[in-house]
């Protein structure tokens, strides 16, 4: 069975579903599942002084859905020199700006439970990661996910 025929059949199924189910079975999610490949997007490295905040912006230029974020900083106690305070995909909030955000240590390569399933990022949209510096250091992050090129 050809990929075009599978796509056509999936469009028919999605069109016949309720609006709630249709949003869950969006073509973006179906494309990522059927044609997506592993992809990563890098944010940084970026340096900042204690008490400053920076917004890192990346334009994937393809359909992309982040599934895991890993980050580190160069603070004396790794992961405790920066905080991830907000993640936006286009205008859609993925990680709310809570009081102070989350320490980068929660997104360290060995941390458990730092997986995410973000909304798909369209080719024309951007991903913004807001980082606050607790102390002067360098921040670096990578978002791993699926992309349709």
Strands 137-148 and 37-48: antiparallel
Pair (118, 81) in one structural domain: yes
The verdict on whether omega for the bond into residue 10 sits within 30 degrees of 0, i.e. cis, is no
Pair (63, 117) in one structural domain: yes
Pair (25, 83) in one structural domain: no
Pair (12, 67) in one structural domain: no
Q: pTM for the full model?
A: 0.75
Pair (108, 144) in one structural domain: yes
Summarised one tens digit per residue, pLDDT across range 44-102 is 899 999 999 999 999 998 889 888 899 999 999 999 999 999 999 988 998 876 778 89
Which CATH number is 120's domain given? 2.60.120
Pair (31, 45) in one structural domain: no
Summarised one tens digit per residue, pLDDT across range 20-42 is 555 555 666 666 666 778 999 99
Pair (53, 126) in one structural domain: yes
Residues of the domain holding 80: 38-148
Pair (65, 92) in one structural domain: yes
- Distance (Å, rounded) from C-alpha 141 to C-alpha 73? 9
């Amino acid at each position: 069975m050809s990929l075009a025929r599978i796509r056509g059949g999936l469009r028919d199924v999605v069109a016949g579903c309720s609006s709630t189910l249709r949003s869950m079975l969006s073509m973006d999610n179906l494309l990522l599942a059927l044609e997506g490949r592993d992809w990563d997007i890098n944010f940084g490295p970026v340096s900042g002084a204690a008490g400053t905040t920076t917004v890192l912006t990346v334009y994937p230029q393809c359909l992309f859905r982040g599934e895991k974020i890993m980050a580190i900083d160069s603070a004396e106690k790794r992961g405790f020199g920066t905080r991830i305070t907000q993640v936006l995909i286009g205008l859609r909030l993925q990680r709310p700006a809570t009081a102070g955000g989350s320490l980068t240590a929660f997104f360290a390569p060995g941390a458990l439970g730092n997986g995410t399933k973000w909304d798909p990022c369209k080719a024309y949209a951007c991903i913004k990661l807001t980082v606050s510096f607790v102390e002067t250091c360098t921040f670096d992050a990578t978002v791993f996910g699926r992309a349709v090129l």
